[in-house]
Amino acid sequence: MTSEFPAARDKWVLTEIEVLVAAYEDMLKREMRGERVVKADAVRALEVVLPARTSGSIERKMQNVSAVLDERGMPWIPGYKPLSHYQRDLAIAVMRTFSGSSRVAEALERYVGNAVPAASGSRLATEDVLIDPPSTRAPRYRGPTSLNLTTGPLGAMRDFRNAALGRAGEEWVINLEREKLVRSGRNDLADRVSWVATVVGDGAGYDVGSFQPDGRPMKVEVKTTNLGRTTPFYITRWEVETSRTSSDEYVLFRVFDFHQDPKLYVLQGSVEDSAQLVPSVFLGYPS
C-alpha cells in the first residue's frame, strides 16, 4: 500500500500542507481567544501525523504560513516569525483555509476590532516597544479572499473608522511618552504631554503633543492596528499637510499588534517623504 505522505527530503505535498495549515489555523484561533498555546505540543503532534518531517522542518513551514498571512496584513502567530520563499501551493492553501472558514473570519473580525491593549507587567517607555519601520514592498500573493474586510486597504479603513481603537492607541502612546521623559529626568516635560486630539479634535492635524528629552516639541500622529507591522494606514489630507508644514516636529507612530503584543515604528517628518501615499478616496462634485 502506497502512503499518501512522501519519503523524507521530498518536497512537501498538498496533503501535508493542508494538515499543517489546519494546525496553524487552530492555534491562531485559540491565541485570538486569549488561550495559552504551547507550540511545542502542536509540533510534536504534527511529527506523529507527518512522519517524514522533522520538528525543524515543521517549524519552518509554520513560519512560511506566517509569511503568507503577514504579506496580506493579517495576524500571525507570535513565535513563528515570517519566513518567505515558500511554495505557491502553501500560499494557496493558506488563503483557501482562511477565506473558507467562517469561524476564522469571525475570530479575525473580533480580534481586529478589539480596543484593549495587551497587558504589561511593568511600565513601558517608547524605546521599549520601538522597532524599525518595514521595508516597502507589495504583497507577493493577492488572490481573492472573503477576509478582505480585515486585510490590506479595507483593513486599514476599518482601523480608521474604529474610534475606540484609535483613542486606546493614543492613550497608550501618551503613557509611553511620559515614561520616556521620566526616565530621562524630564518630569517637567512629562507633565506637559498632552492629548491634543481630545482637546482640539481633528483640526490640530496630530493626536499627541510630546517632547524630545532635550525639550524639542513633538507633534505625534498615532495610527493603531491590531494587525501586523506591514498593514497600511489611512491618513487624511490635513494630517499630510500638517506633517509637511511642521516637518521638524512631526512624527507618526505606527502602533501594531495592539491587542496581543503592541509595538510601534516611527516615521519622521513629512509623510510624503517617509511613506508611499496612494490615492484611494476622492471628493466628487456633480458636473
Average pLDDT value for residue range 189-204: 92
What's the longest Cα–Cα distance across the chain? Answer: 77
Tell me the pairing of strands 250-256 and 263-268: antiparallel
Question: What is the rounded distance in angstroms from the CA atom of residue 270 to the CA atom of residue 221?
Answer: 12
Better-scored residue on pLDDT, 251 or 257: 251
Angstrom distance (rounded) from CA 49 to CA 121? 38
Lowest-confidence segment of 17-31, 55-69, 110-124 by average pLDDT: 110-124
- Mean pLDDT estimate for the chain: 84
Q: How far apart are CA 151 and CA 145, in angstroms?
A: 9
% of residues, the chain, pLDDT over 70: 81
| Rounded average pLDDT over 250-266 | 92
Mean pLDDT of the 187-205 span: 93
Highest mean pLDDT among 32-36, 121-125, 232-236, 242-246: 242-246
Q: What is the 3-state secondary structure (H, E, C) of 127-193?
A: HHHECCCCCCCCCCCCCCCCCHHHCHHHHHHHHHHCHHHHHHHHHHHHHHHHHHHHHCCCHHHHCCC
CB within 8 Å of 84: residues ≥ 6 apart = 64, 67, 140
| pLDDT, average across residues 12-36 | 87
Lowest-pLDDT range, 48-57, 135-144, 199-208, 246-255? 135-144
3-state helix, strand, coil in the chain (%, to 5): 45, 10, 45
Is 222's pLDDT higher than 70?
A: yes
pLDDT digits (tens, 9 = 90+) for 108-165: 666 666 777 777 778 899 999 999 998 755 444 444 333 333 445 556 666 666 888 9
Task: Dump pLDDT digits (tens) for 180-192.
Answer: 999 999 999 999 9
Specify the 3-state DSSP secondary structure of 14: helix
CB distance 74 to 228 below 8 Å: yes
Residue 173 makes CB contacts below 8 A (sequence gap 6+) with 126, 207, 208, 220, 222, 253, 255, 264
Inter-residue contact 243 to 269 (CB < 8 Å): yes
pLDDT over 90 at 217, yes or no: yes
Task: Compute the average pLDDT of residues 256-271.
Answer: 92
